[in-house]
Structure 1
Amino acid sequence: MFQQSGTLGLGIGNNSIPGIVCLDDDGIYALDDRGVTLLDLTHPGATGTGRAPKVADLRCVNTSVEDEGEKPVPSTLLPAADTPQGPVVLAASNKTIEGAGTTPDAYQGVLRAVAWGTGAPAWQVTWPYKGEAGGYERSGVVGVAESATAVVVLGGAEQVPTTFGIDLASHKVVWQKYGFEAQVIDGSVVVGRSTDDGYWDDDGLESMDSTLLGLDAATGRQRWSALAGSTALHSRLLAPDRIWTTTSDPDGSTTETVLSTDEGRDVGLPGIGGENRTTLSCLYDGRSVLVCSASTLKGYELSAIDTRTGKRLWVLGGPDDTSGRKVPGLAAAWHGAVYCSLGADDETREGIVLDARTGEGLETTPGAVPRLVNAYGGLVAEGAQPGFYPAAR
């Protein structure tokens, strides 16, 4: 399935992997402190920065964070956007405008855009906001909605955050919401948590009651609310119109809920959450299957869910499996295939590929255990030989 020769290293002069790597349908984008390097898979061996990514198709992995897995896009890993002025990469920050005499300090938000191909500054938007500059660990660009609105969160350490919507055509702030931290963008909806108490606990968020809100990304108007009075509320995108939320219970346990992004209703997917089960990671194959790994009282579990019907397709391990098959670790999912590993470490780990809809084995010697896959091959981020392994033709 993957060639063992012709592996493409993504480092400069070696076979290392930069911290953040993204794939679209036919290119690899490696991000490090030198900028963005493109490996154009339609022209093997060609590198550069000239071609912009297919932003809607980007999938990213942070190789410096263990078990980070594939990230949905939009993502803070690569906040790129197609704009009337051409494709750009976005970055947001806050800064202090020092006062003089009796004039107090003022605070300003900044959204910067740099041209994808050259890295040259393209444009900049600044605006005043209430709060303190610096320190808030989640400040930055959450992503770009389908309305071409960049969603930015700004705030200071232990200060209530504010989320802003910036129109990328007019370069204007078109809405803002104080006390709201955007976490996920899915199409035209921004999902995040809003403080119920008028203050923000940035240290673990265990004592802060909050509510999950869905806002219209273009206008900032509220579309729905859910999970009022929750603590330690976090959400991430699972698949189109599906978000996975976790909240902390008084006894220290965690409750997991799957909601519709469009409506905020509980859609309750099997294999995610429930008693004595903790979801570890979930990957969408880009078609119709969500594959999730979980820890249960009966050990590690791997299962697949049809995102259209909500039905569980198959399960390996855990309390519901009687097959006796080995349970592989989840690495990647793409277009009907699940890429997994068997073995506890790099020396003994072997790859295996399962059918996403049946769980049956498709390939027992794929030649690599990729973290991201497209039609041209798979990206291997760990082990002794990281790189992009071309697909066998």
Structure 2
Amino acid sequence: MINREIHLEDEQKEILEQEDPIENLAEDKPAKVDPLGLLPWGAFRQLEIPTPTEYWGDKFIFERGRVLLLGKPKIGKSHWIGAFATAASTGSKFMGKEFPRPMKVMWLQAEIIDAYIRDRVELYLKSYEQHSEMIELIDQNLVVTGRLQKNLMRDADIDMVARSIEFHEPDMIMIDPVINFFSGEENKNEDVQKFLSRVDKLIDTYRVTAILAHHTGKERQDDMSFMSARGGSAFAGWFDSGVKLLGEKPNVTLFYEARNAREPESHAAYFNFDTGVWNVVDLGPAELEPYQIADIVASAMNPVKFYTRTQIELLARETLKKAGQSSGQKAGRKAIKHVRDLKTKTVLTRRQGAIVWHFLSGNEAVPPWKINKAAPF
């Protein structure tokens, strides 16, 4: 009996000393982690996320941004690149928008040979000739290539470009034009994606902003959509900020598209070869809609006056001129038509013999036709 009790006690002790396999399994299992690092919104909004440094425009071109400059051949993309780069190098304004500081820029271009690229850059320096300190900044901050023959699809070539970026430490790199740095098939998404992924690697590794100058397809040269880029969908899906040059020189229209902020308003501009800068063309206020024209003309009418056709037309032309609209004879007559069509309850007309009178509906003055009728012979 004693031996039996001892045996049972030993068995119980052994069982108690055993480790719980289920408990061990729970301890050994690593904590669950989302492989994408995604968080619920409540946790995400608590994160301290550094805001990228803005370079140009309101959140338009910024640190580590992807920029696509698009337009048909010979429309002025390289002049945009060159003038933008020199302005960035000095920290001055480009098309009315200022850079936050002098920036270091690498312009990797593959069209103009070494002997002539100097003349091209000197063109962009014309506006800085009277400011030696600005010229010094450009000398220090702008890195320009001659006709660079590098294929970013080749490992050896992109490695060389990467080491050059590492050496110069630019804020921005410009690849002009894409087709000269790319040996793949433009219409194959797979080839374009491979090229863009290599550009992304440069952006992420060296914290640079990349601006790619690229051509539109022939059939959609003046289409505002960025799908008109050669290799359309891949390029259109890649960029953070897009700049497109449309139309015909000298005045071209610049159209913008942004993914992270409100894009700048589209506008006309021309490249001035005398000063080496882009000048924004002031097109004045947008053309008013017919109902807006009718409103401003009716509002300008004197509440106790009766207008002849000539008088109301002169009033309309003066009102249009003050509003920055076309104010010629044709515009004045069209304005009167808008008033008659759209302000039927506000502005009344009355034909009295050969004269048509125009007046506001609440006019309590004595009408001219009654005054004339009462006048003695």
Same fold (TM over 0.5): no
- Superposition TM-score, scaled by structure 2 size: 0.23
The structure whose residues are more often strand, as a share, is 1
The structure whose residues are more often helix, as a share, is 2
Larger Cα-atom Rg: 2
- Superposition TM-score, scaled by structure 1 size: 0.22
Larger RCO (CA under 8 A, 6+ residues apart): 2
